[in-house]
């Protein structure tokens, strides 16, 4: 597949010439490819440790070990015609093979499409249809998911079946037809230099749930992803012990934190493939590690664990929070324990818009989402919606209609979030226009869940909204109006229906409320902001 056909139909935007010139003049956009950034970073600290905490695939090596494997994989792919413009889908947990694949794709000049490991056949099938990958990399299984069975069905019958690489210790004869052991491609001679690519061309496509029925494919160029990595390096906290990354590397920010930020800082990489508080605490004690970011649950699960000690607390000097609702009770608890908390605001589309720094006043760090970061701008329109621009803002969706709706003519991105700005220029997110729930940092499309639940025979009408969650920030709750005489709809009923539809478990509602009618506008539209208020004040009934 050539670069021309790989991106055909995506309808990517052209950044306004004045903005592009400014980003280049300010040094935010360079001629560097993602591959050259990775090569320089890995060369800067080859002996740094690369550690994976896992019950099924632990790893303890160096960045040089991972780099060597990545260059071998890159060459093996190039021999098979995979290079600039090709597309590589990778759905792996936080394992060393995920890093090898990500680095190899960048070296080969291919577009990498990370997919969170818990996405099921519904989401994965859609992604495969959109990006038409040349290569797919998966485990044989992880957790509840049998990836061999899932992908054998998803890949069968395609016009051009991709090269399917499977991370597995099984004998090759036990793999499905068309599957190739991942390790077999690691014996090739290493690629010496990253392939040359146009820095304006796509480098990463991150799929995120949001306001649409299907995940949205967010396209970043080598330029935008390069600046985002340096942006994160600017405002993320420094000091303290090496950090464990528990956010899935199939998620855009998990990938940045695990595979790019440590390279810019010449630091080691520490991953855990499943957030098990007991195992995290063990790693912290055994290897002198800490945590420094993620959804509130990451911290509360440690603080509440019986194995947590003052020694562990000393290894968490600060905590960065972003991409989710941050309960005030959580920030007060963390601050009371002596942990400095700071907040930031962004999305897969525009990852770093605002942030507080650890040097900012405590009141600003705890109660606002920070000020505009270097190279980023924001403004509020007449309705209070936040519009943003910046050197790390994406270049479009894989759906050209979404791209056209998302941007103004002068390059402002419509975030779908509402905000307020104080006299010092600090932004606070106040509500969402976008119909999305952010559970533990992961976006969940309300519309996607609603569409499936309307297929239940006893459901007449349903609205899915965010409900506050002390551990995760918020979770999805389904507000249901049953058909008259149909009887109550239980949480078990809802989950059984969504499981049968193949929806990822993380998207399932965690509570159900029953109503005889909804608050509505004069035209009959459900007023979701009122539903959210009713959920928060406890005025809705449960079955």
pLDDT at position 58 over 70: yes
Tokens, residue 403: 């791209």
Span 167-208, pLDDT tens digits: 999 999 999 999 999 999 999 899 999 999 999 999 999 998
* Sign of the alpha-carbon torsion through 489, 125, 295, 388: negative
What's the CA gap between 334 and 299, in Å, rounded? Answer: 8
Task: Quote the strand ranges of 64-208, DSSP E.
Answer: 87-90, 111-114, 135-139, 141-142, 145-146, 163-167, 179-181, 202-208
Other Cβ atoms closer than 10 A to 404: 12
Tokens, residue 68: 């060597």
What's the CA gap between 262 and 242, in Å, rounded? Answer: 10
Residues of the chain with CATH 3.40.50.12780: 227-436
Q: Which CATH architecture has domain 3-14+33-45+64-221?
A: 3-Layer(aba) Sandwich (3.40)
- Using an 8 Å Cβ cutoff, are 151 and 136 in contact? yes
What's the CA gap between 38 and 501, in Å, rounded? Answer: 39
Q: Give me Rg for the CA atoms of the chain.
A: 23
pLDDT at position 332 over 50: yes
Tokens, residue 384: 């209070």
Higher-scoring residue by pLDDT: 469, 77: 77
Span 491-510, pLDDT tens digits: 999 999 999 998 888 899 99
Span 207-239, pLDDT tens digits: 987 555 688 999 999 999 999 999 999 999 998
% of the chain with per-residue pLDDT over 70: 94
Span 410-456, pLDDT tens digits: 999 999 888 899 999 999 987 766 667 888 777 787 878 887 898 89
- Give which of 88, 79, 103 is closest to 137, Cα–Cα: 88
pLDDT at position 404 over 80: yes
DSSP class of residue 242 equals P
> Is 372 buried (19+), middle (13-18) or exposed (0-12) by CB count in 10 A?
buried
Average pLDDT over residues 338-348: 93
Please tell me the predicted confidence (pLDDT) of residue 2.
43
pLDDT at position 386 over 50: yes
Residues of the chain with CATH 3.30.300.30: 437-537
Task: Quote the strand ranges of 424-536, DSSP E.
Answer: 427-432, 436-439, 442-445, 459-469, 473-482, 511-514
What's the CA gap between 436 and 340, in Å, rounded? Answer: 29
3-state secondary structure of 214: coil
What's the CA gap between 426 and 344, in Å, rounded? Answer: 11
Confidence of residue 1 (pLDDT cuts 50, 70, 90): very low
Average pLDDT over residues 370-375: 96
Whole-prediction pTM value? 0.83
Q: What is the mean pLDDT of the chain?
A: 90
Given 3.40.50.720, 3.30.300.30, 3.10.20.340, 3.20.20.70, which CATH number is that of 437-537? Answer: 3.30.300.30
Span 240-268, pLDDT tens digits: 999 999 989 998 888 999 999 999 999 99
Q: Which CATH architecture has domain 227-436?
A: 3-Layer(aba) Sandwich (3.40)
Span 114-154, pLDDT tens digits: 998 888 898 899 999 999 999 999 999 999 899 999 999 99
- Using an 8 Å Cβ cutoff, are 465 and 528 in contact? yes
Tokens, residue 313: 């607390």
* Sign of the alpha-carbon torsion through 454, 458, 462, 466: negative
Residues of the chain with CATH 3.40.50.980: 3-14+33-45+64-221
- Give which of 336, 381, 341, 334 is closest to 363, Cα–Cα: 341
Please tell me the predicted confidence (pLDDT) of residue 3.
44
pLDDT at position 372 over 50: yes
């Amino acid at each position: 597949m050539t670069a021309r056909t790989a991106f055909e139909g995506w309808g990517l935007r052209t950044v306004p010439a004045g903005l592009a010139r400014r980003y280049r003049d300010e040094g935010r956009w360079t001629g560097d490819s993602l591959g050259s950034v990775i090569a320089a970073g890995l060369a800067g600290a080859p002996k740094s440790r690369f550690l994976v905490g896992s019950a099924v695939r632990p790893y303890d090596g160096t960045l040089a070990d991972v780099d060597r494997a990545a260059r071998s994989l890159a060459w093996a792919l190039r021999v098979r015609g995979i290079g600039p413009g090709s597309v590589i889908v990778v759905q792996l947990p936080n394992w060393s093979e995920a890093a090898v694949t990500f680095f190899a794709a960048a070296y080969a000049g291919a577009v990498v499409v990370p997919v969170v490991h818990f996405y099921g056949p519904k989401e994965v099938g859609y992604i495969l249809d959109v990006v038409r990958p040349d290569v797919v990399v998966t485990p044989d299984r992880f957790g509840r998911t049998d990836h061999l069975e899932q992908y054998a069905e998803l890949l069968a019958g395609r016009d051009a079946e991709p090269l399917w690489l499977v991370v597995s210790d099984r004998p090759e004869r036990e793999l499905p037809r068309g599957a190739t052991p991942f390790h077999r491609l690691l014996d090739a001679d290493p690629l010496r230099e990253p392939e040359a690519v146009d820095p304006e061309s796509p480098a990463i496509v991150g799929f995120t749930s949001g306001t649409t029925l299907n995940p949205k494919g967010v396209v970043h160029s080598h330029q935008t992803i390069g600046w985002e990595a340096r942006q994160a390096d600017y405002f993320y906290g420094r000091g303290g012990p090496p950090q464990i990354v528990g956010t899935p590397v199939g998620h855009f920010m998990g990938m940045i934190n695990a595979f790019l930020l440590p390279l810019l800082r010449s630091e080691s990489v520490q991953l855990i493939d499943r957030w098990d508080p007991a195992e995290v605490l063990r790693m912290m004690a055994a290897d002198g590690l800490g945590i420094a970011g993620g959804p509130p649950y990451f911290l509360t699960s440690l603080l509440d664990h019986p194995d947590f000690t003052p020694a562990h607390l000393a290894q968490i000097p600060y905590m960065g929070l972003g991409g989710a609702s941050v309960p005030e009770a959580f920030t007060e608890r963390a601050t009371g324990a002596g942990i400095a908390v700071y907040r930031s605001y962004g999305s897969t589309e525009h990852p770093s818009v605002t942030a507080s720094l650890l040097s900012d006043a405590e009141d600003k760090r705890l109660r606002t989402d920070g000020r505009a970061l270097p190279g980023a701008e924001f403004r509020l329109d007449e309705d209070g919606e936040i519009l943003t621009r910046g050197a790390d803002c994406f270049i479009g969706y894989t759906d050209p209609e979404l791209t056209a709706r998302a941007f103004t003519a002068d390059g402002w991105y419509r975030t779908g979030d509402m905000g307020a700005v104080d006299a010092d220029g600090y932004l606070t997110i106040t509500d969402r226009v976008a119909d999305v729930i952010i559970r533990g940092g992961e976006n969940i499309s309300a519309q996607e869940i609603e569409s499936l639940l309307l297929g239940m025979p006893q459901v007449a009408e349903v609205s899915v909204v965010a409900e506050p969650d002390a551990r995760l920030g918020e979770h999805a709750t389904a507000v249901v109006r049953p058909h008259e005489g149909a009887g109550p709809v239980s949480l078990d009923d809802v989950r059984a229906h969504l499981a049968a539809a193949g929806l990822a478990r993380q998207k399932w509602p965690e509570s159900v409320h029953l109503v005889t009618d909804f608050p509505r506008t004069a035209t009959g539209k459900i007023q979701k902001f009122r539903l959210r208020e009713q959920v928060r004040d406890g005025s809705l009934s449960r079955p």
